[in-house]
Amino acid sequence: MPIIFRKEFRYHFSSMTGFVFLAAFWAASGIYFALAQLAAGNGDIKVFFAAFAPVLMFVLPLLTMRLYAEERNMRTEELLLSAPVSISSVILGKYAAAMAVFGIGIAPSLTFPVILAGLHAFYLSSVLGCYTGLILIASAYISLGLLVSVCTESQTAAAAATYAVFLFMYLISPQGGISGPAGSAAAFFSLTARFAGFSSGVFKAADVFYYLSASALFIFLSVFVLEDRRLS
């Protein structure tokens, strides 16, 4: 896994993928913070995170679309599958590298609570909840994007399919407009529906378990698909 991680992490920045993702992420987060917090004179950081969390659906596919589809484009899939490393190490290495790039993306936003603290508006529980929720939902999105990349033939197809899946996840959430019993049932499977509690500083074990289980499931399915492909 460490070898795959280092290879993938370097590749994010030897190509334009990592830079494009970071540029889009930093631009979006800066604009949202300026508009939702500073321009509005609102000191509650959860306003920013509630508005910014859905943006992950648009920027993370820039990071995940090439995670495995690129192996096919570069004709290195057979070499990778025959290498003396386990499929689980390959998948976990790619996932960890994407999470590391995402970590670089959110690092500058740590200054946002500091700025708000300077304005005498700082709520530690809300800050911790927002960052915990953001990392958990990003983990689920990245692992899901990795699964889509494993199942598609090209980066373009991976990006389109990932956007479609993320949009579906949003539409079945309460934010997507579904209400009533059907909305409650659909929201159970939506990755975005459970973020609201974190942004309010509420840590529910069920929500943490849900995101961790979703990430583990998508990683397991990615390993399963590749194992089946290698055996065939």
Q: What is the pLDDT of residues 202-231, one digit of tens each?
A: 777 888 898 999 999 999 999 999 888 777
The whole-angstrom separation of Cα 135 and Cα 152 is 25
In this model, does residue 102 exceed pLDDT 80?
Answer: yes
| In the chain, alpha helices (H) | 2-14, 17-33, 45-52, 56-64, 69-73, 77-82, 87-106, 111-118, 124-151, 155-171, 180-187, 195-199, 205-231
Q: Which domain holds residue 175?
A: 2-231
Report the pLDDT value the prediction gives residue 4, as an integer from 0 to 100: 84
DSSP 193: T
Please tell me whether the overall predicted TM-score, pTM, comes out greater than 0.85 for this model: yes
Comparing CA positions, the residue from 46, 72, 203 lying closest to residue 136 is 203
CA 97, 143, 176: angle at the middle one, nearest 5?
130
Among 2-6, 51-55, 117-121, 135-139, the least confident range: 117-121
C-alpha dist (Å) from residue 66 to 6, 70, 95, 140, 232? 16, 5, 12, 17, 23
Tally the domains of the chain. 1
